Amino acid sequence: MILKIRYYDMEASEPRVILTEEDAEEIGVKEMDRVRLNSKKAQVMLVGTSKTMLKKGEIMIPANMASKIGLKGGSTIDVIYSPKPDSVVSIRKKMDNKKLTKEEINDIVQDILDSKLSKIEISAWLTSLQINGMDVEEIANFSNAMVNTGDTIEFERQPVYDFHSIGGVPGNKITPIVVSIVAAAGLMLPKTSSRAISSACGTSDFVETFCNVELDAHSLKTISESIGGMSSVSKDVAVSIISQ
Q: Tens of pLDDT along 11-53?
A: 666 778 999 999 999 999 988 888 988 877 778 888 999 988 8
CATH classification of the domain holding 15:
2.40.40.20
Please tell me whether residues 13 and 59 are part of one structural domain: yes
d(CA 23, CA 83): 17
Q: How many domains does the chain have?
A: 3
Paired residues of 242 in beta bridges:
154
Please tell me whether residues 159 and 190 are part of one structural domain: yes
pTM score: 0.67
Average pLDDT of the chain to the nearest whole number: 83
CATH classification of the domain holding 157:
3.40.1030.10
Please tell me whether residues 235 and 162 are part of one structural domain: yes
What does the DSSP assignment read for the chain?
-EEEEEEE----SS-EEEEEHHHHHHHT--TT-EEEEESTT-EEEEEEEESSSS-TTEEEEEHHHHHHTT--TTSEEEEEEEPPPTHHHHHHHHHTT-PPPHHHHHHHHHHHHTT-S-HHHHHHHHHHHHHH---HHHHHHHHHHHHHTSEEEE-SSS-B-------HHHHHHHHHHHHHHHHHTT-BEEEE----SSSS--HHHHHTTTS--EE-HHHHHHHHHHHSEEEEEESSS-EEEE--
Residue 66 has pLDDT above 70, yes or no: yes
Please tell me whether residues 105 and 169 are part of one structural domain: no
Residue 143: other Cβ atoms inside 10 A: 13
**Boundary (domain end) residue, out of 127, 149, 171:** 149
Question: What is the tens place of the pLDDT at every residue in 194-228?
Answer: 777 666 667 777 777 787 777 777 888 888 888 88
Residue 89 has pLDDT above 70, yes or no: yes
Q: Which residues contact 239 (CB under 8 A, 6 or more apart)?
A: 150, 151, 152, 153, 192, 217, 220
Domain that holds residue 40: 2-82
**Boundary (domain end) residue, out of 82, 108, 131:** 82
Please tell me whether residues 160 and 237 are part of one structural domain: yes
Please tell me whether residues 173 and 228 are part of one structural domain: yes
For the purposes of burial, counting CB atoms within 10 Å of the CB of 58, is it exposed (0-12), middle (13-18) or buried (19 or more)?
middle
Please tell me whether residues 200 and 214 are part of one structural domain: yes
Please tell me whether residues 172 and 194 are part of one structural domain: yes
**Boundary (domain end) residue, out of 82, 108, 135:** 82
When computed from its CA atoms, the radius of gyration of the chain, rounded to whole angstroms, is 21
Residue 175 has pLDDT above 60, yes or no: yes
Please tell me whether residues 97 and 127 are part of one structural domain: yes
Torsion of CA 212, 213, 214, 220, to 10 degrees: 110
Contact in structure between 172 and 203 (CB atoms under 8 Å): yes
Please tell me whether residues 127 and 189 are part of one structural domain: no
CATH classification of the domain holding 106:
1.20.970.10
Nearest alpha-carbon partner for 23 in 50, 45, 43: 50
Please tell me whether residues 134 and 193 are part of one structural domain: no
